[in-house]
Structure 1
Amino acid sequence: MPRLNVPAPEDVPAGAQRTLDDVEAQLGFAPNMFKTLASNPAVLDTVTTLQGTMSRVLDGRTRHSIALAVSQANGCGYCLAMHTHVATEFGGMSAEDIELARAGSAVDPRRAAAARFAQQVVESRGRVGDADLADVRHAGYTDAQILGIVAVAVQFLLTNFINNVNQTDLDVPAADPVDATVSR
């Protein structure tokens, strides 16, 4: 059960309602996280603006992989479910791609390096080692792209924290547990 109040539809401020309508048009429904954020239009606007801006930083599959890796590292069940749904329905990712991303990996070595680095950023609270930077550079990422990986990871930290605090009700099927044998 959520711990933060979701405004009744008639109590959603007009600007927030427009944002919810935009999210619904994009996804086919307004997820519970966004309905909760509607109680604070500035936060709703911050999250949706950040998502829009970060959608231009890296390719979609890499962003989905980072979302899944970060959400797994933070134990955010809501975000794992939602990112699994979005990555499958809109990102064309297979069940294997999703499982690997949650483990900080991928079939594609370059995407695997980004997911692994994002998890390292989260797990180390940004205090990654020189070897972590060398690994992501070796995969072909420039310093500008590494900044993008960090920014995308932080974007998902924000929503993970919001949903972990709220214990947001799932509005898509729960993500399956990760196979412990999947290697990074």
Structure 2
Amino acid sequence: MSRLNAPEYGDVPAHVRNTLDKVGMQFGFVPNMFATLASNPAVLDVVMTLQGSLARVLDARTRHTIALAVSEANGCDYCLAVHSYVSSELGGMSSDDIDLARAGSSIDPKRAAVARFAQQVVESRGRVSDADLAAVRGAGYTDPQILAIVTVAVQALLTNFINNVNQTDIDIPAASPVGTQG
């Protein structure tokens, strides 16, 4: 059971209901994470603004790959469920590629380098090695793109931390353990 309280839809300000309505249109319902964030409109705005801004920094599959790799490394079951669902249903990623992303890889060699690098960012708390940087550069990423990779990883960590603290009830099909059919 979630540990933080989500307000009732009718109890939040109109601008928050508007934001929740937009999220609901995307998913077909308002996921528990967003309903909980509605209790603090400023935090909801930060998360939504960050997600909107980061949608422009890398292609969708690369962003999904990062989110899956980071959520797996950080052990966030809620985010794994959401990102697996979004990657599959909205992002067109295969279940094999989703599993690989969670394991720090990809069917695409360039995205595999991103997944490994994103997991290294998490595991090293940002203190990646020169070899880690060389590997992601060797896959063809520029320094501005590396900044984007780190920022997308940190955005995933933000929601991982929120959902891990909350123990958010999973209201979307749960992600299967890597390597199993769900």
Q: Same fold (TM over 0.5)?
A: yes
Provide the TM-score with structure 1 as the length reference. 0.96
Secondary structure, aligned partner of 2:30: coil
Q: Secondary structure at the match of 1:146?
A: helix
In the TM superposition, residue 8 of structure 1 has moved relative to its aligned partner by: 1.2
TM-score (norm 2): 0.97
Q: How many pairs does the alignment contain?
A: 180
Equivalent position of 1:131 in the other structure: 131
Counterpart Cα distance in 2 of 1:118 and 1:13? 36
- 1:105 is the counterpart of 2:105: yes
Where in structure 1 are there 5+ consecutive unaligned residues? Answer: none
8 Å contact from structure 1 (residues 13, 38) kept in 2:
no
Residue 87 of structure 1 aligns to which amino acid in structure 2?
S
Structure 2 equivalent of residue 71 of structure 1: 71
Check whether the contact 1:67–1:83 (CA below 8 A) recurs between aligned residues: yes
Question: What is the match of residue 39 of structure 1?
Answer: 39
User: 1:179: how far off?
Assistant: 3.2
Q: Which residue of 1 aligns with 2:4?
A: 4
CA distance in 1, matches of 2:12, 2:164: 23
| Cross-structure match for 2:145 | 145
Matched, 1:21 2:26: no
| Runs of 4+ with >4 A deviation | none
What does residue 85 of structure 2 align with? 85
> Can you give the 5+ residue segments of structure 2 that lack an aligned partner in the other structure?
none
Please give the root-mean-square deviation of Cα atoms over the aligned residues, in Å. Answer: 1.0
Question: Identity of paired residues, percent?
Answer: 73
How far apart are the structure 2 equivalents of 1:29 and 1:123?
33
**What is the identity, as a one-letter code, of the residue corresponding to 2:172?**
V
Measure how far apart 1:135 and its partner are: 0.1
